[in-house]
Structure formats: C-alpha cells, structure tokens
Amino acid sequence: DAKTTQPTSMDCAEGRAANLPCNHSTISGNEYVYWYRQIHSQGPQYIIHGLKNNETNEMASLIITEDRKSSTLILPHATLRDTAVYYCIVRVYSTGNQFYFGTGTSLTVIP
Amino acid sequence: DSGVTQTPKHLITATGQRVTLRCSPRSGDLSVYWYQQSLDQGLQFLIQYYNGEERAKGNILERFSAQQFPDLHSELNLSSLELGDSALYFCASSPSLSGNTIYFGEGSWLTVV
C-alpha cells in the first residue's frame, strides 16, 4: 500500500472549518483513501473514504485532487469534540489488505 | 459505541505471566482484527481472523497467539510477558473479509510490571 504524509499537528478555532491535508504521491489506481480518527486512546473511528470523486457524509468531506496524489479532509464546523489524531490511509480494497496506520495529524480545536 | 466489546478494560500483570484478551465483534461481523498501540510504535496490525480462520498476519510476536471461535468471538493470548508488551490492545471487526470499514472496540489496557 502507498505511504502517506501528514502534518504532525494542527490547530483550528472552534466553529471554523478544519482542513487536514494528506499527501499520497505514490498511490495506485486501485487504492482508496480512507480517514480514521482516534480521540484520546479510544478506538479509532471511521470517518470517510473515497477513490476518485469527492465524498461527503454527516461527519466530513473528502476532497481528492484530480491526479489523486493528495487529499484533504474537511470538518466543516469544528467542535472541541473533534480534537483527535486523524489518520489518512491508502489501501487496496481486496482480500488480505489491512489498514496500516501511520502517525497521523494531531488536531487541536481551540475554544 | 461501535458494537465491538473488549474485556478486560484494564489489566496489570507481572513479567513472565500470560494473559488472555477477549473480543466480541459486532453482530453479524465475520472478520476480527487485533491491533497493538504502544507509545513508541503507534497503532500496529497484529492479526486477522475471518469466520474462524487466520487470514492475515502483521507484526505479531511468536509469544502472542489468537483464535476465533465458532460463535465468532476472538481471544488474543499473550505469554511470557515483557515490560515492552505494555500497550493498548484493540480489537476491530468488519462484516466481510476485505473490510472496507472496520469498527474498533475501546481497547484493553495491559500494564506489565
């Protein structure tokens, strides 16, 4: 699976949009981009995933560049409860492929 | 609440001992995964079971073993424990073998003293 690069940490003001970038320049055509988050030692929580098109759900939006070499997770109105470590993972959706979590981005939402 | 249940939540044991961590997957999920999270190693994939059979192995030590039972619950056995085995152990489950989305439990904190 392709490796990802994320900033170590970011801050965001409460109520503002949090934009978390991820670089995956070696991504293959059949690899999906997934985002999970982990709130202080709780189990990681699925946020969103996508292949080529932008995706949106009740938690967030995922913007994938046309060349698929990078993506951005957008939390539209960050709250204090969004403070967490966010993991960007690229993975082939097929048997035997696991989710390999990197170091992620530690997002702190500031009141 | 993800629906994945792990017990015990906390465990303290001495070096050289053996412990068993238990996981009940979400109702209907056939795949179970085990992950280890320590301060210096991040979240590491250990092993996956699907419908009772081992399907994938990650960075799992030989002192560690796992199994999935007919009722689909899983156990992770850790033996000859060392101080470095102190970590948070997560179980996750998914409906299918490929696991497009996996759901994590709240983890079992293991402290080896």
Taking the C-alpha atoms of residue A97 and residue A111, their distance in angstroms, rounded to an integer, is 39
The string of pLDDT tens digits covering residues B12-31 is 999 999 999 999 999 999 99
Residue to substitute from A93, A99, A101, A105, interface B, most B β-carbons within 10 A: A99
With an 8 Å Cβ cutoff, is B53 touching chain A?
no
The partner residue sitting opposite A95, judged by closest CB among B45, B97, B104, is B97
With an 8 Å Cβ cutoff, is B47 touching chain A?
no
Residues of A in contact with B90 (CB under 8 A): 43-44
pLDDT tens-place values along chain A, 111 residues long: 668 999 999 999 999 999 999 999 988 888 899 999 999 889 999 999 999 989 999 999 999 999 999 999 999 999 999 999 999 998 876 656 678 888 899 999 999
Taking the C-alpha atoms of residue A71 and residue A65, their distance in angstroms, rounded to an integer, is 6
